[in-house]
């Protein structure tokens, strides 16, 4: 006698009998609209989606009509009509998010919203106000795209239990007197409009901050007011992972980098600097001071931006030297190059016992770049790997570079991984 096959409804019941945390984990992996659609499966599934602790909303979370989508992409409609359509779409999206929040039956641990917004988006204000009444929220992501920065409402700072905060394209006008984010360990600020005083007040109220990402555009006001590097590090006593991008170093440091900081970053283990430039007045001094004040640094990752130099000059990649451009004379650039090379010699007493990996992207094998690698090799007894993602460097130049590096005094053997932008990879053990 053949065994009787279970029906589809019975199979659904088997899934429904899984422990609630398992079901929540499964539903959290689905887009929020698909998770909500599970309510039609059966009576057992009607309210299961309302208890998932992670909510993520994006442009695609709410379907807009084909006609509205078509009108938004047309070029021959008036700005007034386009704005009306945009506001209608925002209302529909906000209404859908409100409906989800109203049907919630459990705590919210993570909330993520990624969509268009402008500086006066009252619908999103109301959503954040509803979240501010939830004392269980741990992670908040506000990722906006728009021509104007979204004006962050003050009640965001009432979310005192946050551990992770990500803000993109937001305007923080003023932070009132508040108790701070006592539990915040990770902060990411990308394209944020914020004053120096507000920025420092925010950091000073995050005593447990371990990870900080700062991305500053040239037009952001953060660096136009004051040089903040000294105050910045004083606000990061337990920082472990520091990432900077854009114009942060140039705008906040300029020519006022001291030889030593008044504070040691003893907890810093991982440093990432994007858009790094060796041949300006601040990149190399900042990096040297940071390394000197971080005795427990384990990894350095640099994304070079050597081609865009603020002295109206450019690199001759084939000759690996400066060339004259516009009114800048070659003799002046050569003198500048020697001046920057001397900056490395000011930090000969640096000793990085815990540094084990260095990664440099867009490595061009220029003199200062090569001198920096030699500087690190001679002062890092625990170094095990150097990754050089080269750009504009041919095979002969690579071999010459390896000969130079092999002659640098080093205590322990290490690997040099040379990765060409064309994905060819060479590994050399020295």
Bridge-based pairing of strands 314-316 and 321-323 is antiparallel
Q: Token pair of 126, please?
A: 């109301």
Dihedral sign from CA coordinates of 370, 373, 378, 383 = negative
Residues 42, 159, single domain; the answer is no
Statement to judge: residues 387 and 295 lie in one domain: yes
Give the contacts of 192 (CB within 8 A, at least 6 positions apart). 149, 167, 169, 170, 171, 172, 216, 220, 222
Over the stretch 228-265, which tens digit does the pLDDT of each residue have?
Answer: 677 788 889 999 999 998 777 776 665 555 555 677 89
| Integer Cα distance of 149 and 252 in angstroms | 21
Provide the mean pLDDT of the chain. 76
Least confident of 16-30, 39-53, 70-84, 148-162: 70-84
Whether residue 164 sits in one domain with residue 208: yes
Helices 330-345 and 283-292: crossing angle in degrees, nearest 10, is 0
Handedness of CA 355, 357, 363, 366 (dihedral sign): positive
Q: Within this chain, do residues 113 and 238 fall inside the same structural domain, yes or no? A: yes
Q: Same domain, yes or no, for 331 and 350?
A: yes
Lowest pLDDT segment from 205-219, 222-236, 312-326, 385-399: 312-326
Could you give the CA distance from residue 246 to residue 215 in angstroms, rounded to a whole number?
A: 5
Q: Between 276 and 18, where is the model more confident?
A: 276
Claim to verify: residue 124 and residue 212 sit in the same structural domain: yes
Q: What residue numbers bound the domain in which 429 lies?
A: 281-430
Q: What pLDDT, on a 0 to 100 scale, did the predictor assign at position 38?
A: 78
pLDDT recorded at residue 355: 92
How does pLDDT run across 409-428, given as a tens digit for each residue?
766 677 778 776 555 666 66
Nearest to 295 by CA among 363, 235, 348, 355: 355
Report the range out of 15-19, 102-106, 384-388, 397-401 with the highest average pLDDT: 384-388
Domains: count for the chain: 3
Q: Is the pTM of this model over 0.85?
A: no
Residue 335 domain flag? yes
Same domain? For 38 and 90 the reply is no
Structure tokens at 206: 């995050």
- How confident is the model at residue 309, as a pLDDT? 37
How confident is the model at residue 322, as a pLDDT? Answer: 36
Based on the fold, state whether residues 125 and 240 are members of the same structural domain.
yes
């Amino acid at each position: 006698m053949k065994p009787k096959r279970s029906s589809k409804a019975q199979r659904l019941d088997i899934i429904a009998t899984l422990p609630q945390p398992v079901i929540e984990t499964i539903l959290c992996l689905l887009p929020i609209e698909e998770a909500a659609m599970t309510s039609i499966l059966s009576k057992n599934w009607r309210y299961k989606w309302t208890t998932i602790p992670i909510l993520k909303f994006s442009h695609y979370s709410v379907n807009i009509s084909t006609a509205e989508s078509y009108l938004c992409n047309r070029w021959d409609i008036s700005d007034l009509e386009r704005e009306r359509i945009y506001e209608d779409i925002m209302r529909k999206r906000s209404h859908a998010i409100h409906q989800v929040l109203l049907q919630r039956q459990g705590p919210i641990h993570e909330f993520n919203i990624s969509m268009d917004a402008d500086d006066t988006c009252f619908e999103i204000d109301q959503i954040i106000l509803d979240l501010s009444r939830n004392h269980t929220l741990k992670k908040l992501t506000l990722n906006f795209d728009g021509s104007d920065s979204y004006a962050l409402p003050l009640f965001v700072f009432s979310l005192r239990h946050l551990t992770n905060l990500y803000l993109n394209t937001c305007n923080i006008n003023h932070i009132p007197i508040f108790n701070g984010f006592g539990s915040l360990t990770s902060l990411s600020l990308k394209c944020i409009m914020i004053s120096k005083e507000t920025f420092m007040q925010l950091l000073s109220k995050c005593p447990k901050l371990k990870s900080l990402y700062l991305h500053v555009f040239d037009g952001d006001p953060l660096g136009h007011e004051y040089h903040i590097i000294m105050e910045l590090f004083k606000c990061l006593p337990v920082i472990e992972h520091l990432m900077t991008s854009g114009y942060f170093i140039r705008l906040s440091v300029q020519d006022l980098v001291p030889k030593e900081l008044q504070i040691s970053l003893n907890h810093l283990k991982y440093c990432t600097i994007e858009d790094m430039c060796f041949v300006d007045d601040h990149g190399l001094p900042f990096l040297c001071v940071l390394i000197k004040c971080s005795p427990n640094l384990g990894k350095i990752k640099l994304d070079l931006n050597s081609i865009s130099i603020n002295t109206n000059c450019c690199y001759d990649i084939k000759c690996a030297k400066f060339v004259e451009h516009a009114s800048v004379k070659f003799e002046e650039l050569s003198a500048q190059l020697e001046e920057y090379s001397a900056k490395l010699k000011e930090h000969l007493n640096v000793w990085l016992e815990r540094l084990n990996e260095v990664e440099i992207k867009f490595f061009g094998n220029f003199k200062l770049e090569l001198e920096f690698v030699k500087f690190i090799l001679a002062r890092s007894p625990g170094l095990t790997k150097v990754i050089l993602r080269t750009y504009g460097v041919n095979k002969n130049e690579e071999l010459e570079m390896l000969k130079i590096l092999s002659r640098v005094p080093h205590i322990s053997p290490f690997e040099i991984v040379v990765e060409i932008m064309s994905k060819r990879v060479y590994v050399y053990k020295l």
